[in-house]
Amino acid sequence: MADYRKKEINTFLDELSSSAPTPGGGGASALVGALGAALGCMVCSLTVGKKKYRDVEADIIAAAEQLSSIREELAECINRDAEAFEPLSRAYSLPKDDPDRASVMEKCLKTAAGAPFEILELARKALPIMEEVAEKGSTLAVSDAAVGSVMLRAAAQGAAANVYINTALMKDREYAVSLDEKTALLTAECCEKADALYEKITGGLRKNG
């Protein structure tokens, strides 16, 4: 299995553009989320050490550590998503009269849905931290927090779509419906937080213009 974290950007984009099963929408969502978290770290880096923000420096350092950890987890989810999808792609090629096909497919679908759900959870975890960074961090970089929030929103929505495409095919409908409901709630929460933060930041910037 390729380590997508070590690939050059253009190589990743070329592979994403191709007919290869991975990377796909899940990996792209993880990458977008990692970029969003990284932008939050950037705001923190531009804040720490500045006299103007001395009173909140400890909070900003803590936020930077949290966002850095989330960024790493999201980046690793690019690989996890690919690793989870490959067995599913092989399961699709099993003969339809194979007595084990249904159970193999079900197991693979649940595994494949797990990776994007993790991306969604990480985006949800990052957004309140991004809100704190936007509130306490350098005003010169507040637009980067706005961009970061948009990217985390996109990561959440993209991940949700990748959950749903797997749950739609599951035979265990109780499990599928439960996961769909959890996914919908988390996605709505992420979108609400990201939209509110984006509007707050950009609204303030327009007023200052």
- Is the separation of the CB atoms in 124 and 194 below 8 Å? no
- Residue 209: its pLDDT value, please? 54
Domains in the chain (CATH in brackets) are 24-204 (1.20.120.680)
- Residue 93: its pLDDT value, please? 81
Mean pLDDT of 189-207: 95
In 93-172, which residue ranges form alpha helices assigned H by DSSP?
101-136, 142-167
C-alpha distances out from residue 73 to 9, 65, 108, 190, 209, Å = 18, 13, 22, 18, 37
- Is the separation of the CB atoms in 152 and 130 below 8 Å? yes
pLDDT tens string 19-37: 988 899 999 999 999 999 9
- Residue 90: its pLDDT value, please? 84
pLDDT tens string 61-111: 999 999 999 999 999 999 999 999 888 888 888 878 878 888 899 999 999
| Dist. CA 132–CA 90, nearest whole Å | 44
Classified as helix, coil or strand, 77 is: helix
- Residue 208: its pLDDT value, please? 61
